[in-house]
Structure 1
Amino acid sequence: MFNSLPTEYTNRVLCYYTNTSKQIQIIRITDIPNWYFERILFPQQRLLFEAIPHAHLEVYKKRFGVADLVAKILCDFLQVQQEAEAPSPLYSARQ
């Protein structure tokens, strides 16, 4: 994974973000010491990334050549939730 978190961060979470706008977005995480994360996302592009729960994903869009902060999201809210395993449709408990 590009820009992996430093090894001292053991409480990592897998996060998911989608650019649901019709504009290109720049996303950044700048509040993790010794680490900087920045990506450009096109409209409807999705991204999985690792972070720590208390970090913030900053979302920017360019307006008149200037990147404006439009959202700041706690990474804990972007954490991928693992669904409970559903029984296989090929297996029936009835006999």
Structure 2
Amino acid sequence: MPHILDPLPQNNADDEICCCYVNSTSQIQVARITNVNNWYFERVVFPGQRLIFEAPIYGYLEIHTGMMASSILSDKIPCQQLIVLGGDDAHPFSIPAVSTELQYAAK
């Protein structure tokens, strides 16, 4: 998957996985990966939005939920639980078949 912003460091190329997170709440969330050296990943996820991204297999997606001036770390999900299932020829922006573990993220 081509990265326009903040590509993964080159030393992680072998450990990259395609992931999907769905914001099933009614609040705006901020998704952030902080445990990867030399890489910054942070995205706003609106209610009902699906976020598809690549991350190292050992990454953790932090979900911050809150109001205007404050946010709370509401979840920390291993990226392995957000893996998108599909063949090698599957297009990364097609509607993914997500693993059953994604239901964890949707709760």
Return the TM-score normalized by structure 1. 0.82
Whole-Å Cα distance in 2 between the matches of residues 50 and 64 of structure 1?
28
Q: Greater share of helix residues, 1 or 2? A: 2
Q: For residues 70-93 of structure 1, what are the alpha-carbon distances to aligned partners after superposition, in whole Å with 9 as ceiling and x for unaligned?
A: 00000000011126xxxxxxxxxx
Whole-Å Cα distance in 2 between the matches of residues 6 and 17 of structure 1?
22
Which of 18, 30, 43 aligns to 1:39? It is 43
The alignment-based identity, stated in percent, is 40
Unaligned runs of 5+ in 2: 88-107
Unaligned runs of 5+ in 1: 84-95
Moved more, 3-12 or 17-26: 3-12
Q: What value does the CA root-mean-square deviation take over the aligned residues?
A: 1.3
Larger Rg: 1
Where do 4+ consecutive residues of structure 1 move more than 2 Å? Answer: none
- Partners of 1:4 and 1:50 within 8 A in 2: no
Whole-Å Cα distance in 2 between the matches of residues 26 and 64 of structure 1?
12
Which of 56, 61, 72 aligns to 1:57? It is 61
**How far does residue 64 in structure 1 lie from its aligned partner after superposition?**
6.3
Return the TM-score normalized by structure 2. 0.73
